Amino acid sequence: MGLIDNQKEEVTMKAIVAVDKNWGIGLKGKLLVQIPADQKYFRETTMGHVVVMGRKTLESFPGKAPLKGRVNIVLTGGGTSLPDGIEIAHDTDELMAILKRYEGEEIYCIGGARVYEELLPYCDECLVTKIDESYEADAFFPDLDKDPEWEIVEDESSREEHTYFDLIYHFMIYRRRSAT
């Protein structure tokens, strides 16, 4: 194994996110829209696994409490005191050291925008709920459709259309293209 191989011993993870047509994810610390089926998908997908989030994402949860049934890790630059049941990483290096303890487990980056942007280079897959609507947003996920490193590997929109009242949305999976 050469030096290049050793450098790629970074922890890999998946991102899970709901985006609007413009890849918006939030406004003023809240989700753009709450779709029960998407929330169920998030819960079922991440249950029993490791989730990494920013402090603001944690504070947006009911009671500012960690997600039950998951290992909760918060990436924060501040020395904020956080509730019990949460591991804290103050920077990406510290996060990677913590995540090495969870080698072989599924690790999900769950937001917010700054954490997605910082951790996207460590993600090899993104589970995206695409909402066929545009909202006012102040937080965005990187547009994977415009990034040549990413490709859609599963797009259920050709098989099934999901609706919630008048909203149409699709579950999609993007995967990082292999370097060849």
Question: What's the CATH architecture for 11-176?
Answer: 3-Layer(aba) Sandwich (3.40)
pLDDT in tens, 127-172: 999 999 999 999 999 999 999 999 999 876 555 667 777 888 999 9
β-bridge mates for residue 130, sequence order = 19, 170
Name the token pair of 107. Answer: 């690790």
Name the token pair of 133. Answer: 């609507």
- Residue whose C-alpha is closest to residue 125's, from 151, 163, 101, 162: 151
* Chain centroid to CA 163: 22
In which band, very low, low, confident or very high, does the pLDDT at 79 lie, cut at 50, 70 and 90? low
Residue type, 84: D
- Residue whose C-alpha is closest to residue 110's, from 96, 95, 124, 128: 128
Give the predicted TM-score (pTM) of the model: 0.88
C-alpha distances in Å from residue 79, one per residue of 66, 76, 91, 113:
17, 8, 12, 20
- Residue whose C-alpha is closest to residue 116's, from 85, 147, 86, 83: 147
How many Cβ atoms are within 10 Å of 71's Cβ, its own excluded? 20
The structural domains of the chain, with segments of one domain joined by +, span 11-176
pLDDT in tens, 11-69: 889 999 999 999 999 999 999 999 999 999 999 999 999 999 999 999 998 888 999 99
